[in-house]
Amino acid sequence: MNISIERSGAVAIVQVDNPPVNALSRDVRSGLIAAVQTLDADPSVQAVLLTCAGRTFIAGADVNEFGKPPQAPHLPDVIAAIEQATKPWLAAIHGSALGGGLEVALACRFRVALANAQLGVPEVNLGLVPGAGGCVRLPRLVGARKAAEMVVKGAPIKAPAALQAGLVDAVFENDLQQNALTWLGQVLAQPLPEPVLQRPVSGVALSTDEWEQVAKELLPRDKRLQAPAMALACVKRACEAPVAEAQAFERETFLTLRGSAQARALRHVFFAERGATRPPEIKGVEVKEIQLAGVVGGGTMGAGIAMALRDAGINVVLMERDTESLQRGLDRIRSTYESSVKRGRISAETAEARIAGVRGVTDYTGLADVDLVIEAVFEDLQVKRDVFAQLSAVCRLDAILATNTSYLDPAAIADGVVAPERFIGLHFFSPAQIMKLLEIVPTEQTSMQTLATSFALAAKLRKIPVRAGICDGFIGNRILRVLRAQAERLLLAGATPSQVDAAMRAYGMPMGPFEAQDLGGLDIAAFQRKAAKERGEAVFAPVAEQLCEMGRLGQKTNGGWYDYVPGERKAIDSPVVADVIAKVSAGTAKQAWTEQDIADCLVLPMVNEAALILQEGIAQRSADVDLVEIHGYGFPRWRGGLLQDAQERGVAEVVQRLRHFAALDMTPEPCQKLLAVAETGTF
């Protein structure tokens, strides 16, 4: 049953029960309208209390209806019915009232909430704006500035902040329904306030200059994002135009955005993230509980992994080879947490508690009782094998053994491990306590329980997990290698580093490939190339190799692909690099490159490589590739990921452009998987 009605004296209690999050499905929408009609016709009913069963209030639209033709009754019809009811409604909010759920609450005459509830309109995160009056009603309760902040940023606020802003009328610590009934009895003895839509905008009106300042504060730097600016326009119209005009403008904006490419892309990412921690292949598999974890290696990556575990409430045993190295690792953890305190991200008490949950050891026997151990030592096959030989000897047979390798073959690392079914690759991205991506790389011997436990761990760490097969670089670094090689091919063909970087920024990346290498250090990629050469793999980085030989390793040496003034990060075009490029590219045909051609020459070979990764079974789903690129490499979320973007553009066009560049010896020919997708239209 979606909607039920009970009585408490003269108050009717309408309960929504649509697990798991009481989404506004068609049945719920129909049920709410029917409840309004039934209760308006009942003379014994004085008021209505709207509650929800389960763990949350109405948490938004029904995701199962996303992308499908809308079915009546539409949400604005539900909102209008509640707001125009002859009996006043009170929304009692627990859990989350988000999106359409908050819009339903705004239609009620009153709103109360539990103290731990959160309220918000996150539609902008899906490339939308509130479409059922949220932009129009919010300013009438919280004022123009706060409404603009909530709608444009999309971040929910907690109930106490909502009370202070005027969004709710009362907050309770417990016993929501009984407290709501008592509170309702008190306010019914007083004159009723006007419905929200009939109230004036709260606070003082904003001037043109003030609206411009609000825009500067709230709108993202990337002006290609459509929804934030349109959301702000809706709030501004709500504050300045007649109600009917403002509602019509909001609804028209919502409908326009709903069919946009950005909304499709962001919906794609939403569903991909939603299913990331529970892929179908591990459904029903029992998982192990991880309470104590070990980390071998206290360097930047090991310390980051330790902090990611502590942030999730898992105690950590950090192991290093000697006391001095161990102390450096522990100091690294402490200083990072103390920095977070200074920036106001966590309290000093929280930092101390997390630091206290890390115990240091210099002997493998200190890891005897861990449920999981993650190796994060030097990227050398024999070094890692030696680590796991020691771990096999001391750890419990049911303890999961994981390597954080980014390039090496986990199966080769696991050679000789006792009970190899408990071994797996867990590739964190640096800084591990911040980056959300986690590549999970099972070997042929990895058990389903180990695999499922790794996904459960990712969920606990609030990471986005993606299963990857074994190959050089797995999914993300394999595609990154293609990007870097293509960037150098462009240099040899007449483009400059600054042109290449500018084209990728224009495409939507936070920085270009050469800027990124200078930031991280050219020696990192050089080490990976050296390892690849030792494995007999072809490597293309003629200019980068020259720069590394010259000691130009990026910002840390005040020179890489660009020159840098000591202590500053501003990239300056380098005549030294220009000279190296000219010498390496001598005899190569040059041409003038447009921004679009540069972007295509970089991105489309990445698409082709991603298709090969799917063809080889290294990635299970195209959405997995998209998640890797978004959460590991800064691919613009509003494009939906590498393959979603290609699909939106049209894979047939991608194939055509690749063939054009292949004729110029700039890219490979499109692979068979890509050719097949060009026929079907979908990956």
Residues with active-site annotation: 103, 123
Asked if 24 and 64 count as a contact pair (C-beta separation under 8 A), the reply is no
CA-CA distance, 492 to 587, in Å (whole number)? Answer: 9
Q: What is the dihedral of CA 350, 355, 359, 361, to 10 degrees?
A: 170
The DSSP element (H or E) to which 157 belongs, if any, is strand 157-158
CA-CA distance, 528 to 539, in Å (whole number)? Answer: 10
Asked if 307 and 433 count as a contact pair (C-beta separation under 8 A), the reply is yes
Pick the closest to residue 254 from 74, 24, 101, 81 (CA basis): 74
The DSSP code sequence of 457-519 is: HHHHTT-EEEEB-SSTTTTHHHHHHHHHHHHHHHHHTT--HHHHHHHHHHHT-SS-HHHHHHH
The DSSP element (H or E) to which 319 belongs, if any, is strand 315-319
Tokens representing 336? 């990072």
Residue 657: partners with Cβ closer than 8 Å, 6 or more residues away: 600, 604
**Cα 69 to Cα 16, 58, 66, 134, 258, distances in angstroms:** 24, 22, 8, 22, 11
Tokens representing 215? 């825009």
Q: DSSP alpha helices (H): ranges in 69-187?
A: 75-83, 100-107, 134-142, 144-153, 159-165, 176-187
Tokens representing 252? 């028209």
Is there a cis peptide before residue 431, judged by omega within 30 degrees of 0?
yes
Tokens representing 136? 């129009």
Pick the closest to residue 21 from 107, 109, 98, 128 (CA basis): 98
User: Is residue 82 classed as helix, strand or coil in its secondary structure?
Assistant: helix
> Quick one: the chain helix, strand, coil %, rounded to 5?
50, 15, 35
- For 165-189, the three-class secondary structure string (H helix, E strand, C coil) is HCCCCEEECCCHHHHHHHHHHHHCC
**Cα 602 to Cα 165, 485, 486, 547, 561, distances in angstroms:** 48, 9, 6, 21, 17
Pick the closest to residue 649 from 268, 266, 265, 253 (CA basis): 265
